[in-house]
């Protein structure tokens, strides 16, 4: 096999390995970081996500009604207080669809649609115990 063809195959395999969802239905995830108002990534969860744990209900692919790929997540523990809904406090088993933000995708045109979510959450084997 010539080296150019081999390099192209490796590139295709590497691209396929990077793109796509990291999590499967049933997997638990917790928030680890977020992008602040200035667009800088911080190493702590958004205040409204702090102390939450989520279960992946399903992987969402571009389908009618969904412009981007993403995840349907169910809150397992903690209280979710989204900053865009002042005063709202969602408790388990609240479910919502999550996808990378338009702003993130505009600022990072080479990123795949899963990247922001995979930087915001990490997979865990169990939900952390709530602090009293």
pLDDT tens readout for residues 99-132: 888 888 888 888 888 888 999 999 999 998 755 4
* Bridge partners for 30 per DSSP: 122
Q: In what order do the strands lie in the sheet with 121-124?
A: 95-98, 70-77, 53-60, 28-31, 121-124
132 part of a folded domain: no
Longest dimension (CA), the chain: 62
Please give the share of the chain, as a percent, with pLDDT higher than 70: 80
Q: Determine the structural domain holding residue 88 and report its residue range.
A: 21-124
| Phi, psi of 63, rounded to the nearest 5 degrees | -140, 170
Measured between alpha carbons, how far apart are the two ends of the chain, in Å? 62
Helix (H, G, I), strand (E, B) or coil at 40: coil
Helix (H, G, I), strand (E, B) or coil at 84: coil
Nearest by Cα to 80 from 100, 114, 109, 51: 51
CB distance 60 to 69 below 8 Å: yes
Q: How many CB atoms lie within 10 A of CB 129?
A: 8
12 part of a folded domain: no
103 part of a folded domain: yes
Q: What is residue 131's predicted lDDT score, i.e. its pLDDT?
A: 56
The number of distinct structural domains making up the chain is 1
4 part of a folded domain: no
The Cα–Cα gap between 117 and 48 comes to 16
- Segment 75-79 mean pLDDT: 97
Q: What is residue 130's predicted lDDT score, i.e. its pLDDT?
A: 59
Q: Residue 64: pLDDT band by 50, 70, 90 thresholds?
A: low
Q: What are the C-alpha distances in Å from 70 to residues 89, 99, 129?
A: 22, 4, 27
pTM for the full predicted model: 0.77
13 part of a folded domain: no
């Amino acid at each position: 096999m010539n080296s150019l063809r081999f390099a192209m195959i490796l590139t295709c395999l590497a691209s396929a390995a990077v793109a796509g969802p990291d999590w499967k239905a049933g997997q638990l995830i917790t928030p680890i970081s977020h992008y602040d108002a200035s667009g800088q990534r911080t190493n702590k969860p958004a205040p409204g996500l702090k102390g939450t744990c989520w279960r992946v209900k399903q992987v969402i692919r571009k389908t009618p009604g969904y412009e981007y790929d993403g995840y349907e997540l169910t809150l397992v523990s903690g209280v979710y207080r989204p900053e865009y809904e002042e005063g709202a406090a969602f408790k388990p088993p609240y479910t919502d669809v999550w996808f990378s933000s338009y702003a993130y995708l505009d600022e990072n045109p080479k990123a795949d649609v899963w990247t922001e979510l995979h930087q915001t959450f990490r997979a865990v084997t169990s939900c952390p115990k709530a602090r009293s």
